[in-house]
Amino acid sequence: MPELPEVETVRRGLAPHLTGRRIVRVAVREPRLRWPVPTHLAERLCGRRVVALDRRGKYLIVTLDSDDRLLVHLGMSGRLRVLPADTPPRAHDHIDWWLDDGRLVRFHDPRRFGAMLLWPAGESMPALLRHLGPEPFAPEFDGAYLFQQSRGRTAPVKSFVMDGRIVVGAGNIYATEALFSAGIRPSRSAGRLTRADCTRLAAAIRAVLADAVALGGTTLRDFAGADGASGYFQQELSVYGRAGAPCRRCGTTIRRLVIAQRSSFYCPRCQR
């Protein structure tokens, strides 16, 4: 599933092509996504100019000159591509927006777990965004914040940092890598983290996510950016997916365990 670095990669790839452009036509071939595509989507988008393209967690937010906004979620297999306007649709090409410069933005989603929802002008923040925690690059996300949030929690620290109400963007791969960088075993109880642990962990989450964004995200199966290119962060993975291989830092064999039904990987020597 695309996580924060992959979605940010898509945002950065789309923004130069989309910002300032007018949407002249919309086609919805398949409205049955994770949530139904609004029946009046084309009516609300056509003729509007794109003012900004932002991201909140794993949601892209397209702001129009009408002050309407559009929430886009890539789900598990969704892609947004910029293509020539006459590119014929293929299977699973569900939604197209034609732009006034002769190109189109195409939403492709084989599994249909993605979403495209309207946030009309004047309406309060949608529930999908309302309870999200801080962005990992926001000033308020630091060791002191993590320490305060972790008090009294018995859940494994990996589950704790993957909770989007605590911080957005620390998905399975990135939480695994950040915990290795911080020297913290993923199964340790969050409530047992010290202030020093939390300081290292907050810094590690920011650093791992920043590196992943710089490398275009991680491509393990379906992900590609707006230009169709794969991400390269998987070449930098220290522990994720490396069970049985030697730790790149100390040579100890990497182990795998399951936490909350997700595979976790760690070095038993480097992580305590």
Q: Is 192 annotated as a binding residue?
A: no
H helices of 223-267, in order, are none
Measure the CA–CA gap between 118 and 218, rounded to whole angstroms. Answer: 29
Position 82: which residue type? V
**Angle, in degrees to the nearest 10, between helices 195-214 and 143-150:** 120
Residue pair 171/6 in contact (Cβ under 8 Å)? The answer is no
- Is 2 catalytic? The answer is yes
Residue pair 126/53 in contact (Cβ under 8 Å)? The answer is no
Paired tokens of 216:
């275009």
Tell the residue number behind the tokens 């010290």, with chain if given. 194
- Is 134 catalytic? The answer is no
- Is 158 catalytic? The answer is no
Measure the CA–CA gap between 261 and 257, rounded to whole angstroms. Answer: 9
Q: Which residue of the set 3, 6, 8, 135 is catalytic?
A: 3
Q: Is 153 annotated as a binding residue?
A: yes
Q: Show Cβ contacts of residue 95 under 8 Å, excluding neighbours closer than 6 positions.
A: 26, 27, 28, 29, 30, 37, 41, 106, 107, 116
Q: Which residue of the set 21, 49, 256, 262 is catalytic?
A: 262
Q: Is 92 annotated as a binding residue?
A: yes
Give how far the C-alpha of residue 183 lies from the chain's centroid of Cα atoms, to the nearest Å: 24
Q: Which residue of the set 55, 58, 79, 103 is catalytic?
A: 58
Q: Which residue of the set 2, 5, 156, 186 is catalytic?
A: 2
Q: Which of 58, 61, 59 is nearest to 19 (CA)?
A: 61
Paired tokens of 257:
């365990």
Residue pair 22/42 in contact (Cβ under 8 Å)? The answer is no
Q: Is 169 exposed, middle or buried (0-12, 13-18, 19+ CB in 10 A)?
A: buried
Measure the CA–CA gap between 179 and 271, rounded to whole angstroms. Answer: 8
Catalytic residues: 2-3, 58, 262
**Binding site as annotated, residues for DNA:** 92, 111, 153
Q: Return binding residues.
A: 92, 111, 153
